[in-house]
Structure 1
Amino acid sequence: AIGFFWAILWILIYVDSPDNHTYISIIEKKIILENTQQSSNNNDRFHTPWRAILTSSVCWALFIMHTCSNWGTYTFLTSIPKYMDEALGFDIKSARSFLPAIFVLGLAFMTCQHKYTAVILLTIGVGLTGCCFGGGFALVPNDIAPAYAGIIFGISNTFATIPGIISPYVVGALTEKDPNNWSIIFFLCTIIYIIGLIIFLLFGSSELQPWAIKQIENNVLYDDLLSKQNNETTEKILNLEN
């Protein structure tokens, strides 16, 4: 139901270009168009500053943070049913960032005598992990390099898929012989979360990077936008007078 409601909102609000958006000002349109690939009428002239991206400490802070965060996410996604069965004694058939780290750390001390508390901590931890994506580092590429946001996030997401491959093997190796080793798994998740947090706080940024600034070679697009806004304003005035 939530997905359907979101789809309706998306259809009503989404537009293909800032130029066609009715709810943002001409100045905001100009800023967006100047700092994205849409500012160029010739896509063949768009060049990616690969060296600047791959040598940027800000970008690498993002890559590391994304990867560390995904370690916890993939651990939750792939191993929680196993944890609830082996450590908490739940019947599976009936039945992520600093803030996620706090609640994941709490799981390390949970036993089957505290299984409902463990479920609450797990739910909060997963929920806060989602907040990291919705309003955290996932938005950084748009801030530091709007014109290359897709490329930067693509690189970041490539690194961040590695935990999805490694994490299940680590969980399996640690719990195969001793289910009590789940505490080690959650301690490991907490440490990885905090490492990502510290690196991002030290080297990360949300400021527009100098190498990401694109210059518009002509003002034709801006003039078109200004003319369009003036026409819309004139139409509104005429409608009010009538």
Structure 2
Amino acid sequence: MAQKVDSEKWVISQRWVMAVMGMMGVTMAYVMRGCLAITITQMVKPVVNTIEKVGQKDLEYCPMPYVPQRQSNTTSTHYEEDTSSRFDWDEETQGLILSAFYYGYIITHVPGGLLAQRFGGKHTMGLGILSTAVLTMFTPMVARMGSTQLMILRFVEGLGEGTTFPALCTLLAQWAPPLEKGKLSTLVFAGAQLGSIFANSISGFIIHFVPGGWPNVFYFFGGISMVWFVIWCLVVYNDPLSHPFISDHERNYLLQSIGSIERKKDLAPTPWRHILTSAPVWGLIVVESGHDWGGYTIMSDLPKYMSDVLHFSVKQNGFLSSIPFIAQWITSITSSVLADWTIKKQYMSVTAVRKLYAAIGTIGPGLGVMCASFVGCDKVTATFLFTLGMALMGFCYPSIRVNALDLSPNYSATIMALVNGIGCLSGMATPYVAGLLTPNRTILEWRLVFWIMLIVMMASSVVFTMIGSGELQPWNDIETYEKRKIGQEKDESQKNYQDSKPTSAYDTSLKKPN
């Protein structure tokens, strides 16, 4: 017996294998959607130096850095692309290209959630990432056809990726024990920050050093995502019961802690009426929309701000744009451990933890970004404030990212589809809004963009604090809930009937006279 227990220590935990592979999948998804944000700064014609515009305040424009003319040097390995071949796309067109992805992304959320509930999350997610990978590799060719064609391609990419989060919720509902829900879920969804980190840093490195320039970014990330798909198919399974390599110890632990380790294939029809009339669900939708407004503003527009306003080079831009996401990733992991520990020790209720962390993760980033716009052209301080704000956004991951599992494990995929789908309306709006509001690319114009971001995030946090919840909703088991409700109605009906029965005196008075 002792030998068997010792051998169990060396068995790889399959729930953590699923979580790590899920994290890598989210990383691939965010890399492929996010790499265009920094790459587009090298795809379009460079910004004309507007520092000498008449009548403008000094703080509106940062001075262009002095770059000495580089003499011809045949030994240099630095590759410079001829800027005359770049695309002549204005700010509004760039905003439409960046937002086109989310028009497709929103469409497949609910279908993806229903498919994940019916067939499991493994292939629902895997095939979505694979389709995005293939289309990513075609991006350079399509971009040369024109901006409209690139918008269409990005729209179709969004259709493939829309299944990602609903599918992951289905997997986590079967693999994440209650006391590890925060850590496992945060690890999976923290792939979003890793994707943004790699999209910015590696893209900048490839553009700067690899001959061929920006097209190599799409070839590299598309190819890596295909490799991930093959590994995903080999090592991940829909639920512990169907997993051929899971240990008996882990399977029994998941059975005892979760209550069911087999994905329910015969779920009752989705209780749409209960979901759509649930105040906690709408609280989650609102706060997710606010979070996404800030997240997409930073992910899509921070590289443009650092390039157009602060005038960082592409190499500097790639590295510095990734620093805020590194901070966010670290904070999300540490805050998830703290959240699970707080709940386990019963220092705070699940609802209190979710609300507190959501407030920190929404208001903090808005304030950080707003402060960054008030330091003018101080690159170091601006980068620090962007980093501080995004670090605080990491608190959202053990709160609003986990909340769908709190409310209803059985229908978490559908809830996540609604929440993330409606939330990604922000992804459709923010690049376009930023493009409209920053035609001259000045600090004052960008400050208005950041003011809007702060107001939206604060308002969403207030709504979630008022109506959000971390408790399991009664309609999670809809059949039992409906039976109990019918039983209560019968009991109430019988009670009303007994109360309305005539008394004996009244009965006597109703007798016919002789």
| TM-score interval, smaller chain | 0.7 to 0.9
Alignment of 1:148 with 2:375, yes or no, is no
User: Structure 1 CA distance, aligned partners of 2:372 and 2:449?
Assistant: 10
Indicate if the aligned counterparts of 1:18 and 1:32 stay in contact, CA closer than 8 A.
no
Aligned residues: 203
State the partner residue of 2:389.
Answer: 125
TM superposition score normalised by structure 2: 0.36
User: Structure 2 CA distance, aligned partners of 1:8 and 1:141?
Assistant: 19
User: Structure 2 CA distance, aligned partners of 1:88 and 1:178?
Assistant: 10
Alignment of 1:46 with 2:271, yes or no, is no
User: Structure 2 CA distance, aligned partners of 1:191 and 1:131?
Assistant: 19
User: Structure 2 CA distance, aligned partners of 1:12 and 1:168?
Assistant: 31
User: Structure 2 CA distance, aligned partners of 1:72 and 1:31?
Assistant: 36
| C-alpha displacement of 1:94 | 3.2
User: Structure 2 CA distance, aligned partners of 1:212 and 1:52?
Assistant: 10
User: Structure 1 CA distance, aligned partners of 2:269 and 2:467?
Assistant: 26
| Cα deviation 1:124-164 (Å, max 9, x = unaligned) | 2223324412x120100101111111110011111111111
Indicate if the aligned counterparts of 2:373 and 2:382 stay in contact, CA closer than 8 A.
no
Indicate if the aligned counterparts of 1:48 and 1:148 stay in contact, CA closer than 8 A.
yes
Matches within 5 A, 1:81-96: 81-95=303-317
State the partner residue of 1:185.
Answer: 449
State the partner residue of 1:32.
Answer: 258
| C-alpha displacement of 1:194 | 0.6
User: Structure 1 CA distance, aligned partners of 2:15 and 2:456?
Assistant: 38
| C-alpha displacement of 1:199 | 0.6
Indicate if the aligned counterparts of 2:369 and 2:385 stay in contact, CA closer than 8 A.
yes
State the partner residue of 2:287.
Answer: 65
Over 3 Å counting, the alpha-carbon distance change for 1:199 and 1:37 in structure 2 is: farther
Over 3 Å counting, the alpha-carbon distance change for 1:30 and 1:147 in structure 2 is: farther
Indicate if the aligned counterparts of 1:65 and 1:197 stay in contact, CA closer than 8 A.
yes
Alignment of 1:104 with 2:330, yes or no, is no
User: Structure 1 CA distance, aligned partners of 2:416 and 2:281?
Assistant: 9
Over 3 Å counting, the alpha-carbon distance change for 1:94 and 1:154 in structure 2 is: same
Q: Which amino acid aligns with 1:106?
A: C
User: Structure 1 CA distance, aligned partners of 2:15 and 2:268?
Assistant: 34
Over 3 Å counting, the alpha-carbon distance change for 1:207 and 1:9 in structure 2 is: closer
Over 3 Å counting, the alpha-carbon distance change for 1:202 and 1:8 in structure 2 is: closer
| Consecutive unaligned residues in structure 1, runs of 5 or more | 1-6, 217-242
Q: CA RMSD in A?
A: 3.0
Tell me the percent identity: 30
Indicate if the aligned counterparts of 1:81 and 1:92 stay in contact, CA closer than 8 A.
no
Indicate if the aligned counterparts of 2:309 and 2:441 stay in contact, CA closer than 8 A.
no
Over 3 Å counting, the alpha-carbon distance change for 1:45 and 1:17 in structure 2 is: closer
- Partner of 1:213, secondary structure, is helix
**Deviation larger for 69-78 or 79-88:** 79-88
Q: Which amino acid aligns with 2:258?
A: I
TM superposition score normalised by structure 1: 0.73
Matches within 5 A, 1:175-214: 175-177=438-440, 179=442, 180-213=444-477
User: Structure 2 CA distance, aligned partners of 1:9 and 1:139?
Assistant: 17
User: Structure 1 CA distance, aligned partners of 2:453 and 2:395?
Assistant: 17
State the partner residue of 2:205.
Answer: none
Over 3 Å counting, the alpha-carbon distance change for 1:69 and 1:45 in structure 2 is: closer
| Cα deviation 1:86-108 (Å, max 9, x = unaligned) | 33232234337122223122123
| C-alpha displacement of 1:190 | 0.9
User: Structure 1 CA distance, aligned partners of 2:309 and 2:375?
Assistant: 8
- Partner of 2:472, secondary structure, is coil
User: Structure 1 CA distance, aligned partners of 2:448 and 2:384?
Assistant: 19
Over 3 Å counting, the alpha-carbon distance change for 1:87 and 1:94 in structure 2 is: same
Indicate if the aligned counterparts of 1:103 and 1:122 stay in contact, CA closer than 8 A.
yes
Indicate if the aligned counterparts of 1:87 and 1:111 stay in contact, CA closer than 8 A.
no
User: Structure 2 CA distance, aligned partners of 1:67 and 1:183?
Assistant: 21
Matches within 5 A, 1:209-228: 209-213=473-477
Please tell me whether Structure 1 or Structure 2 has the larger radius of gyration of its CA atoms.
2
Q: Which amino acid aligns with 1:182?
A: W
**Deviation larger for 178-187 or 11-20:** 11-20
| C-alpha displacement of 1:123 | 1.8
Residue of 286, 298, 315 corresponding to 1:76: 298
**Deviation larger for 199-208 or 160-169:** 160-169
Q: Which amino acid aligns with 1:171?
A: A
Indicate if the aligned counterparts of 1:107 and 1:186 stay in contact, CA closer than 8 A.
no
Residue of 13, 17, 27 corresponding to 1:10: 17
Over 3 Å counting, the alpha-carbon distance change for 1:106 and 1:60 in structure 2 is: same
Indicate if the aligned counterparts of 2:434 and 2:449 stay in contact, CA closer than 8 A.
yes
Indicate if the aligned counterparts of 2:271 and 2:478 stay in contact, CA closer than 8 A.
no
User: Structure 2 CA distance, aligned partners of 1:76 and 1:99?
Assistant: 14
| Cα deviation 1:197-227 (Å, max 9, x = unaligned) | 10100010000111223578xxxxxxxxxxx
Over 3 Å counting, the alpha-carbon distance change for 1:191 and 1:44 in structure 2 is: same
Over 3 Å counting, the alpha-carbon distance change for 1:30 and 1:51 in structure 2 is: farther
Alignment of 1:55 with 2:277, yes or no, is yes
State the partner residue of 1:139.
Answer: 402
Indicate if the aligned counterparts of 1:108 and 1:187 stay in contact, CA closer than 8 A.
no
